[in-house]
Chain A
Amino acid sequence: SQQGEEDPQALSIQEGENATMNCSYKTSINNLQWYRQNSGRGLVHLILIRSNEREKHSGRLRVTLDTSKKSSSLLITASRAADTASYFCAPLTSGDDKIIFGKGTRLHILP
């Protein structure tokens, strides 16, 4: 198992703007997952992108994966107040039996 490193650590944007956060990892993966955590609550699985995929969409979320650079990005379009949360990435290999989370990106949407 390996830990993803999210960047930036914190991000503040105006409501309606797009938010982009990045994740880097060190060794090859089978898939990469993004999770969201609203303040003091459990994590919610947002999206899973497999190593043979370059881009994936889910509603206002767009995730890209560049395996050559060992990095992923999460784009949230037309941000809303409810998007205020911490976002974590999880780079995973088949057979991994634990997830090592980093500190995440804390996103704050300003009214």
Chain B
Amino acid sequence: DAGVTQSPTHLIKTRGQQVTLRCSPKSGHDTVSWYQQALGQGPQFIFQYYEEEERQRGNFPDRFSGHQFPNYSSELNVNALLLGDSALYLCASSSGGDLSYEQYFGPGTRLTVT
């Protein structure tokens, strides 16, 4: 059983560009959450998708958007990239939208903005 997978592993973009990151949840999970982790910091919650809708959103600008597909996989899109968007982006999956159960994290996508 594959766990949470993310692609790509690493990505280098230029300021002003747009990027799309992808996540496939663990089999049987229907909820995907996205986190941004800057160096030396804990992961910061971006948003959560459940039943193809954004249910919760952290303190991130509208440049950050997402989507969940019928197969529960998800995409994170970031427009007009800034240097400060350089970070590790983590995807986590769980079931039923209730995060009081354990979450399974993917290995992350390292985004570098130059």
Partners in one complex: yes
Interface of A toward B, CB cutoff 8 Å: 1, 30-31, 33, 35, 40-45, 48, 88, 92-104
Q: Does more than half of chain A's interface fall in helix, strand or loop, or is it mixed?
A: loop
Interface of B toward A, CB cutoff 8 Å: 4, 33, 35, 40-45, 48, 55-56, 58, 88, 90, 92, 97-108, 110
Contact across chains for A99 and B108 when beta carbons are under 8 A apart: no
Residues of A within 8 A of B100 (CB): 30-31, 92-96
Contact across chains for B44 and A41 when beta carbons are under 8 A apart: no
Q: Does more than half of chain B's interface fall in helix, strand or loop, or is it mixed?
A: loop
The answer for the CA separation of A30 and B58 in the assembled complex, in Å, is: 22
For residue A100, give the distance in angstroms from its CB to the closest CB of chain B: 6
Contact across chains for A99 and B105 when beta carbons are under 8 A apart: no
Residues of A within 8 A of B35 (CB): 101
Chain A residue with the shortest CB-CB distance to B55: A97
Contact across chains for A97 and B56 when beta carbons are under 8 A apart: yes
Contact across chains for A98 and B107 when beta carbons are under 8 A apart: no
Query: A40-B108, A45-B104, A96-B98 are contacts. A103–B41 as well, Cβ < 8 Å?
Result: yes
Chain B residue with the shortest CB-CB distance to A86: B42
